[in-house]
Amino acid sequence: MGSAAYTFEGYALILPIATAMRRPQKISLLLVLVMTLCAILAIAVGGLSYAAFGSTTQPIIILNMPSQSAITQTLRIIYGLAIIGTTPLMMFPTFKLLEPLLFGGRSGKVSLSVKAGKTVFRLSMIIAVLFVAAKGIERLDRLVAIIGGVACVPLAFVYPPLLHLRVFGSGSSLRARWICVSNWIIVVCGVCLSFYVTFGAISLKADAPKELVDQVVSELNALEQKIPFVIRSRCGKTVTQRGQQYTHALLVELESGDQLQTYADHPDHQTVLSKIKNIISEPTLAMDF
């Protein structure tokens, strides 16, 4: 739910794009065409992914694909380039909103100190975003879901009706009353949806589907065929209650202790590790000997 709500992030760009257009009166047509295309792509990618992987579908579909495949590597590169290319565009509304509060109406074109101050401010914002991303990379799906619930849902369902109320909601006519009631209904629903999505993102996971757990166990057992210096990799479900809250155990034997970090950083290990983090909520216990 949170990952789906994250798709509303682009709503913040509508007004800046309309302001920058040569013919802003065409924004309605452009918005309809773009939203239709995005909806078709989202439904197609989501539907085809679930049809291919079923209940084992990951929130980030690339995690379901073979890590060493040329197609997977190409998709990762394209995705990274897309993030790099759209970051300035996504940060633009933030700068436009906050810079007037910090620098007033002063322009960096006529004042070198103002230009330097704006540059430092923008760089600081980008570093802050990078810091949050670095901290959340271990649970990227949960970070995306939290952002979707806290920021993107209000952006789509709370702020627009409030702005519409501000412009058209005054008056005592029947139309004005209808605008007021309908917009407040949308606001209330948006706030409830935001709380629901955010709570679902930060709450503990329910028991993972058995099919997904079995797939992860199978992939862990297959590491000895994929990683040359792994002598043995055995994963299985505990058969007694002596393990307390732990349900599965993994034993990996390497040729040398010096290869431990290489094993930890190996792409095949990282791929299955990301799947493990998506299906467990309890702390894990690891020992190296």
Q: What is the pLDDT along the chain (289 residues), one digit of tens a residue?
A: 666 777 777 776 777 778 778 888 888 888 899 889 988 988 898 888 888 887 677 767 777 777 778 888 888 888 888 878 877 777 877 888 888 888 887 777 778 888 888 889 989 988 988 888 887 776 666 777 788 888 888 888 888 888 888 887 777 778 778 888 899 999 999 899 888 888 877 764 555 677 778 888 888 888 888 888 888 888 888 776 665 567 788 888 888 888 888 888 888 888 888 777 777 655 677 777 7
- Collapse the DSSP code of 241 into the 3-class scheme (helix H, G, I; strand E, B; otherwise coil) and give the result: coil
Q: Which residues pair with 235 in a beta bridge?
A: 250
pLDDT of residue 204: 45
pLDDT of residue 40: 92
The answer to whether the CB of 57 falls within 8 A of the CB of 209 is no
- For residue 22, CA distances in Å to 18, 25, 27 come to 9, 9, 10
Cβ-Cβ contacts under 8 Å for 224 (sequence gap 6 or more): 230, 231, 232, 233
